[in-house]
Structure 1
Amino acid sequence: MLTEVAEGIHKLVINFPTGMGAVNCYLIEGKNGYTVIDTGTDSKEAKDGWKEVLSSGIIIEKVVLTHTHQDHIGLAKWFQQEVGVPVIVSYLGYVEMKKNRVSHRRDRTNSLIIRHGGVALPNKINEDNSIYDFEPDGFFNNHQHIQLGEELYEAIWTPGHAPDHFCFYNKNKKIMIIGDHVLNSISPVIGLWSGEEGNPLQDYLLSLKVVEKYPADITLPGHGDLIYDLPARIHEMTAKHRHRLQQVLQSVSMEGKTANQICYEVYDTANIILNLSSFMATLTRLLYLESIGKVERLELDGIVSFKRKVSLEF
């Protein structure tokens, strides 16, 4: 059930039926119990996984979150109110929590999708605002050192995958808890899940450069296998992004295409709603290309398209 991945740090894979299907949670030993990093979704399957751990007699001291996506914060409220464990989030994460309690994310996301040439999400897609409806027990800021187990870790703000995403770095042991910022075998989706336009890909690429400066012997991601050469993985992912940016740029016509049209061409997907991540990745790349002057937007009857400028060089 628990796999020791470094001295005093255990990996627990929590399974659930939606999204990625599983999340890596990390339990860090301390004299007062374990610090848990991330929780899994608010689902019976995830709760059953944790109940099995708790039934073994393990004591949880606190829960600390890398970010507030559903698969990472989903059971935080349950831990606090049912298990009696304090929950610590970043101040930026708390802003996202308050926004999501009352947000109409589906409406905003639908407006964004339609504005960029797609069709609305089906109503059957669940939007569970209740998981955000609790008050955290503590907060942290960028570059603040927080105690995880018996060690101090630096909290490093790494926006892109989520606006409130943080990594945790132990300088003495050269351990990076990296959440969803860098994964071993897949690239994290850079999307606009709040339904608000921005430039998260620019934020993400800058954040990759930030964590690359920290020497890490072992990197603990939120999904999949551990990473033992973080700079190499970052270089690989950066090259993949550049390749995709070039594909998107080549797909943009001189007359203009919507993000939805370009997504179909680049990803050859049959159903954009079933492949919302591909749509989001395409849109955030277009917004990045717009920010660096490679494409420009046109708007007609409330629908946005992107027109290529003369150069195809990225």
Structure 2
Amino acid sequence: MLVDVCEGIEKLVVRFPGGMQEVNSYLVKGENGYTVIDTGIYAEEAIATWESLFDTGVEVEKVVLTHTHQDHIGLARWFQDQKGVPVFISKLGYKEMLKHRDKARIKENLADLLHMHGGPDLPGKIGNDSFIYEFEPDGFFEETDTMLLGNQLFEAVWTPGHAPDHYCFYQKDRKLMLIGDHILNNISPVIGLWTGEEFDPLNDYFASVERMQHYPTELVLPGHGENIYRLGERVKTLMQRHERRLNEVESIVKAEFLTAAGVCEKIYGELNFARFVSPFMATLTRLIYLEAMDKVHRFYHNGKAYFRYIQ
């Protein structure tokens, strides 16, 4: 079940239905057991995977989370309640947890956001997973903290964008980074507004990606997909893709005034709700970024926001 990725670190691919369908959990060896980085979503299949691993005699000392998206924090409470394993999260992550405990507010915010930007009604089942956030972490970390993961020391690096509370863990001596969802090998992390609050996360993301040049790496371990060995090249490809998408969005609103949902449909076609949300969020955050750069302007009509190119 465990795959060696480098000295002292093993990977467990935790699979589950829906969403990304799997997450990479990393287990860092220590004298008192493993430190687990991220857990997988709360699902029977994911729990069965961890139970099978525990059945082999594996001992876990603690869980440390890169961020609070469902597929990374989903089983943290289960580890704490069922296995007696302490859970550590960033102080910013705890703030996000508190937001997600208020299921009604999250649903209201998301419904309002979708309505204002031309999207469909929010399905009733959305937001029924608040229970995964209803526990108290055993400890906290923040930016530049030195953390002991297993027997190895890592620097906590704050990289907001994909999530406001996203952290990577960097080991300078080995030029090694546990990078979570900040940068993935074959896909671009979705930059969205998952609590329904409007701000400019794409600007935060670009700044966080720029920071990566200060952390020379030879091995990067992402939250999904395969290892990254040439981070600089991957960053360059990723930023080129973002530039192409931004240019595409800008061109669309040069031709006509559209809601974010309308722009999304122009790019991705008509999608059902499950497949619509991530492209919609990516489109909306691009429009917000272009608006902050004074390249597009929004106006309101009948309670909906429309975007247009600034001449």
TM-score category by the smaller chain? over 0.9
Q: CA deviation at 1:256?
A: 1.8
Q: CA deviation at 1:124?
A: 3.3
Q: CA contact under 8 A between 2:16 and 2:41: conserved in structure 1?
A: yes
Q: CA contact under 8 A between 2:106 and 2:127: conserved in structure 1?
A: no
Corresponding residue for 1:302?
Answer: 303
The TM-score normalised by the length of structure 2 is 0.97
Deviation by residue 1:207-252 (Cα, 9 ceiling, x = unmatched): 0011232011100000000100011101100000000000000000
In the aligned structure 1, how far is the partner of 2:182 from the partner of 2:75?
A: 21
Answer with 92-101 or 119-128: which moved more.
119-128
Deviation by residue 1:227-284 (Cα, 9 ceiling, x = unmatched): 0001110110000000000000000036521101111111123335532100000000
Matches within 5 A, 1:27-66: 27-66=27-66
Q: CA deviation at 1:90?
A: 0.1
Q: Letter of the 1:25 partner, please give it.
A: S
Aligned length: 310
Match status 1:251 vs 2:255: no
Corresponding residue for 1:220?
Answer: 221
SS of equivalent residue, structure 2 residue 229: coil
In the aligned structure 2, how far is the partner of 1:39 from the partner of 1:83?
A: 13
In the aligned structure 2, how far is the partner of 1:138 from the partner of 1:164?
A: 15
Corresponding residue for 2:5?
Answer: 5
Q: CA contact under 8 A between 2:298 and 2:306: conserved in structure 1?
A: yes
SS of equivalent residue, structure 1 residue 185: coil
Match status 1:152 vs 2:150: no
In the aligned structure 1, how far is the partner of 2:29 from the partner of 2:205?
A: 31
In the aligned structure 2, how far is the partner of 1:194 from the partner of 1:125?
A: 12
Indicate how the Cα distance of structure 1 residues 273 and 11 shifts in structure 2: closer, same or farther if over 3 A, else same: closer
Indicate how the Cα distance of structure 1 residues 42 and 271 shifts in structure 2: closer, same or farther if over 3 A, else same: closer
SS of equivalent residue, structure 2 residue 140: strand
Corresponding residue for 2:184?
Answer: 183
Q: Letter of the 1:110 partner, please give it.
A: A
Q: CA contact under 8 A between 1:36 and 1:64: conserved in structure 2?
A: yes
Matches within 5 A, 1:126-205: 127-205=128-206
Indicate how the Cα distance of structure 1 residues 150 and 126 shifts in structure 2: closer, same or farther if over 3 A, else same: same
Corresponding residue for 1:70?
Answer: 70
Deviation by residue 1:15-49 (Cα, 9 ceiling, x = unmatched): 11121000000000011110000000111100000
Q: CA contact under 8 A between 1:256 and 1:298: conserved in structure 2?
A: no
Match status 1:276 vs 2:277: yes
Corresponding residue for 1:16?
Answer: 16
Q: CA contact under 8 A between 2:143 and 2:158: conserved in structure 1?
A: yes
Q: Letter of the 1:23 partner, please give it.
A: V
Q: CA contact under 8 A between 1:272 and 1:278: conserved in structure 2?
A: no
Q: Letter of the 2:269 partner, please give it.
A: D
Percent of aligned positions that are identical: 52
Q: Letter of the 2:66 partner, please give it.
A: T
Q: Which runs of 5+ in 1 are unaligned?
A: none
In the aligned structure 2, how far is the partner of 1:192 from the partner of 1:270?
A: 19
